[in-house]
A and B are shown apart, each in its own frame.
With several copies, the nearest count.
Chain A
């Protein structure tokens, strides 16, 4: 793990990169990294995020600045700008059931070949996908998802990179922290090693590549 400035961190992300962003309706989202993506005008992003948040908040800022060209999400109904950009074909959107979304990311992070889920069988979601029978029951084969970058929000990070999360800001963050080539973390508090009890670490230090330094 390396501590870097938010400018340095975002400079590593090229335009066109695939980027996972933690958070659920902008709760548990690393806002400082999103502000800096906008400031550095990183365009053509493939965004993987549960939702499109709302304009001005969380990943909503990326849609405000029209930085997204491809979106994988479960729900975008509360961001009219994202909806307009989808209906205007400015962004291509892959809508995925939420349980499938998180499980595909988990598969990407855990070295599994995909997910066998009952969710979506017999619906539009099944179109173009393989259906696998196991013990006579049908499951969709949903492929694993990984990204070049995961942008993670944590409550506590220690000097080694161990992370703990708070309340419903945990959501997709620990799963995404396993599924990207480079993991960049914004923590509400950076604390000495040992402050987070081993039983309370949720994301072990070796998974984290960069933590945004204070100040």
Chain B
């Protein structure tokens, strides 16, 4: 299975009935494809919409209905529109149950860096800092390693997104949580051993007595 799909399917299992969910760009966007049809969740697009639906059929797109990347989306029945102050009031005020974001680095204490590589990539933080500071649960969805380098690090070398630790990291190799503020291996991806995870993880990982395989 495609690593991105493994991640997206596993993250989708974290969603609960009635949750308000914000999905970042990239792998997080894929999560919407794997929500069981009997689970009703609300997806927020931070440019001002709750109730985002799939990409509209050809010829049905409206130029004034887009996602945060400016791409055409649809709105489900029961959708609502609001201005940006309200959108970030929802985010900062803890009304978003789950935010799923991409990451550049997550460290052993759950701190996330995902908005800047000094001197190289300075796109701006957009809504990421508010989402990590404000959402009830923060889930990072990312590849475990990039170019052979672990993205789960002892300490972030890139600028932090927030002083608030994330709740869960889901990669193509593992699910990592932070009980008592310490990176802990909660699950391994199908066919991946604990040893394989440890081999490509820079951060020290606590290993509980049982580490089940991801159910996706």
Contacts and interface: CB of A to CB of B under 8 A. Distances in A.
Direct contact of A and B (CB under 8 A): yes
Interface of A: 1, 24-28, 50-51, 53-54, 73-78, 83, 86-87, 95, 97-100, 102-103, 106, 108-112, 117-125, 155, 158-160, 162, 165-175, 178-179, 193-194, 198-199, 201-202, 204-207
A95 B50 contact: no
B95 A170 contact: no
Contact of A102 (B18, B67, B85): B85
B93 A178 contact: yes
19 contacts: A1-B18, A24-B84, A87-B122, A109-B93, A110-B89, A110-B92, A111-B89, A111-B91, A118-B133, A119-B92, A119-B130, A119-B134, A120-B133, A123-B129, A194-B77, A201-B82, A205-B42, A206-B90, A206-B97
A25 B70 CA distance: 5
Contact of B49 (A28, A106, A168): A168
B125 A97 contact: yes
B47 interface: yes
A97 B129 contact: yes
B211 interface: no
B80 interface: yes
Contacts of A160: 78
Which of under 10, 10 to 19, 20 to 34, or 35 or more describes the interface residues of B? 35 or more
A123 B83 contact: no
B3 interface: no
A204 B126 contact: no
B84 A175 contact: yes
Interface stretch (B7-15, B159-167, B177-185, B191-199): B159-167
A50 B70 CA distance: 12
A74 B124 contact: yes
B92 A99 contact: yes
B81 interface: yes
Given A175-B85, A193-B78, A27 B124 contact: no
Given A178-B95, A206-B95, A123 B159 contact: yes
